[in-house]
Amino acid sequence: CWMPVLEGKIPLKAHVHRVDDIYTAIRIAKEFGLSMTLDHCSEGHLIAEDLAKEGFPAIVGPDLSSRSKIEVQNMAFKTAGVLHEAGVLVAITTDHPVSLIQSLPICAGLAVKSGLPLEEGLRAITCNPARICRVFDRVGSLEPGKDADIAIFTGNPMETFTRTMCTIINGKIVYRDTGF
């Protein structure tokens, strides 16, 4: 099961929260020449410049969860913005079911409120995860030749009062809010 990771076909998924864990994962990835994602990266905002130099993407979150464990005491919605500003490719996760997937747009909105640029908030839940997962040639943005699952909203999907008007998957409407 490790061969695709060791051969560089898929990235190592490093579950890291604290600075020391992040640096350890980077050391191991560099030692073995591995591609890697920094999953959670809770204290990434404390070492953002170093992370940018290393070039590994960060999948930040779940920031809506409790801070009951010592390793998540410094978790903050500002992490995504600080990492982006430093030059790190950032995606946002809810780590479903830790926080429900339905709260992903809210998490992105809270990251925007805490400093992530608005467009980057949208990218952090669309094209950036597709890039990190190496499937951007198929999904993550609306372009000719890509899979085109589409959600149409009444406004900015990262705002709590925005409603989904319609969802289209594989060219078929699978949801329509009849209140419109």
What is the domain partition of the chain in residue ranges?
A: 3-136, 149-180
| Superfamily of 3-136 according to CATH | Metal-dependent hydrolases (3.20.20.140)
What's the rounded Cα separation, in Å, for the pair 34 and 30? 6
Which two tokens mark 4? Answer: 């695709």
What's the pTM?
0.93
Is the pLDDT at 180 greater than 80? The verdict is no
Handedness of CA 94, 98, 103, 107 (dihedral sign): negative
When mean pLDDT is compared across 35-39, 68-72, 102-106, the lowest value belongs to 68-72
Query: What are 84-96's pLDDT values in tens digits?
Result: 999 999 999 999 9
Mean pLDDT calculated for residue range 99-126: 96
